[in-house]
């Protein structure tokens, strides 16, 4: 981070970021973990102080454990029919466009990722359309979180 003004968003020194790591198929560790449905690896791809901005909730979720647990539930909802369609990378940023199907609704969305200097996801912003699909995802994730909160198993 290079500086902040009161009431403004931080600015980032893009030259300080390490190259986004990719596998032999050109996928970042985050994308590869999501596609393999390995949510322990999704969590491992997150920086300790990661921020997740949801399309359904204003305040960000913060921290690897909290964000990882939330992404596990989101994954149970979206990943069964999720397909990444394209990706773009520039500097410390990656955009992953995806489609899925939830509750009979077609979902189209993007994952906007910013990486830190260690190649870990420091910020994840998700956007989805149409609003009926977003509502279906929000409701399914809410139900999943309710089940997780009420589950007495460790």
What is the mean pLDDT of the segment spanning 122-141? 94
Report the domain count for the chain. Answer: 1
Q: Is residue 37 part of a domain?
A: yes
45 vs 20, 21, 32, 38, 152, CA distance in Å?
11, 10, 10, 11, 28
Range of the domain at 20: 14-145
What pLDDT sits at residue 84?
97
Q: Is residue 67 part of a domain?
A: yes
Q: Is 30's pLDDT higher than 60?
A: yes
Q: Is 45's pLDDT higher than 60?
A: yes
Q: With 0.85 as the threshold, say if the pTM is over it.
A: no
| Strand bridging mode 121-129 / 61-62 | unpaired
Residue 86: give its domain's CATH number: 3.10.450.50
Q: Is residue 7 part of a domain?
A: no
What is the mean pLDDT of the segment spanning 101-129? 95
What pLDDT sits at residue 136?
92
Could you read off the pLDDT of 59-93 as tens digits, one per residue?
Answer: 999 999 999 999 999 999 998 999 999 999 999 99
How far is it, in rounded angstroms, from Cα 114 to Cα 91? 9
What pLDDT sits at residue 25?
94
62 vs 50, 99, 116, 118, CA distance in Å?
6, 25, 15, 18
Q: Is residue 152 part of a domain?
A: no
Q: Is residue 112 part of a domain?
A: yes
């Amino acid at each position: 981070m290079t500086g902040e003004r009161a009431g403004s968003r931080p600015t980032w020194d893009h030259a300080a970021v390490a190259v986004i790591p990719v596998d032999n198929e050109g996928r970042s560790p985050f994308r590869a973990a999501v596609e393999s449905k390995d949510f322990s690896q999704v969590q491992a791809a997150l920086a300790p102080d990661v921020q997740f901005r949801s399309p359904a909730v204003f305040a960000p979720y913060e921290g690897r454990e909290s964000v990882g647990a939330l992404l596990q539930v989101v994954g149970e909802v979206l990943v069964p029919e999720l397909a990444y369609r394209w990706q773009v990378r520039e500097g410390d940023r990656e955009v992953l466009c995806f489609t899925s199907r939830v509750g009979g609704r077609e979902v189209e969305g993007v994952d906007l990722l910013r990486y830190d200097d260690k190649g870990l996801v420091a910020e994840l912003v998700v956007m989805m359309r149409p609003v009926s699909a977003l509502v279906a995802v929000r409701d399914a994730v809410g139900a999943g979180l309710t089940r997780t909160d009420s589950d007495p198993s460790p």
